[in-house]
Amino acid sequence: MKFRRSERLIDMTNYLLDHPRQLVPLTFFAERYDSAKSSISEDLAIVKETFEARGIGTLQTVPGAAGGVKFFVKVSMEKAKPFVDELCQMIVDPDRLLPGGYLYLTDILGNPQIVQKAGRIIASAYADAKIDVVMTIATKGIPLAYAVASQLNVPVVIVRRDSKVTEGPTVSINYVSGSAKRIQTMVLSKRSLKEGSQVLIVDDFMKAGGTVLGMVSMLEEFNASVSGIAVLVEAEETEERLVDDYLSLVKLSNVDLKEKKINVHEGNFFTRGKL
């Protein structure tokens, strides 16, 4: 079936968005649309220009006989700022404060549009990094982890507080909760993570960073390494933070549980940028 150019551009755009960071040979598109490679190259130039102008992402051309194109999500600081400002306005509500300085975020993490936008922003910071899998801990960070993973085209691994019979043999470690200073346990199925994997850790909320540090320790059991750490919200702590190298979209400061007051402002994404 012969496609018109308008049809090719729509279908090509949709395919690239659905397959981020995957090398797509020009021959694939040429055969898909029964078109010459020269026509496909012209189409891809239009798609690339539109992606970059609209802040959607970019196309990387890989030369050679086995080459092709790869789509990478890219969100500029200018595009990210209005969303993060809106997120801050949602979070600043003092009714969200929970005992221990935590926040009620379930409604935000249950909103697909918000989670997808946050996932794109986080993924854009790691689009060029070597990442084999996104890791999170059950349960509230799961939607965000999947949103990030979908933009990086990698699977999600979920660390749990206790073992499940459906997960088979597991690895279990003890870690110290950074905020409560309690010994806690986390487990991960042996089949869920390949040895030597490059892992991006994603979580919804971080105080001192004990849970994140626990996940880092878990990776050591699999001889895996950390490609990055990203959180939706971080709480500014007076005590020493257990994790230094991380990215956040929103930061809490001056949390007063008695008066139910919090200051909310943008996280370090805007000062650290591309990692």
206-221 confidence digits (pLDDT tens): 988 999 999 999 999 9
Asked if the model's pLDDT at residue 171 lies above 60, the reply is: yes
Asked if the model's pLDDT at residue 228 lies above 70, the reply is: yes
- Give the CA distances from residue 112 to residues 14, 115, 140, 263, in Å, rounded to whole numbers and listed in that order: 19, 5, 13, 25
For the residues 97-119, what does the mean pLDDT come to? 92
- Give the CA distances from residue 83 to residues 88, 113, 147, 154, in Å, rounded to whole numbers and listed in that order: 9, 11, 16, 24
Helix (H, G, I), strand (E, B) or coil at 10: helix
52-89 confidence digits (pLDDT tens): 999 999 999 988 777 899 999 999 889 999 999 999 99
DSSP assignments along 72-103, one per residue: EE---HHHHHHHHHHHHHHHT-GGGEETTTEE
117-128 confidence digits (pLDDT tens): 999 999 999 999
Please answer whether residues 21 and 127 qualify as being in contact, where contact means their C-beta atoms are separated by less than 8 angstroms: yes
The model carries a pTM of: 0.93
21-52 confidence digits (pLDDT tens): 999 999 999 999 999 999 999 999 999 999 99
243-274 confidence digits (pLDDT tens): 889 999 999 988 777 778 889 999 999 987 54
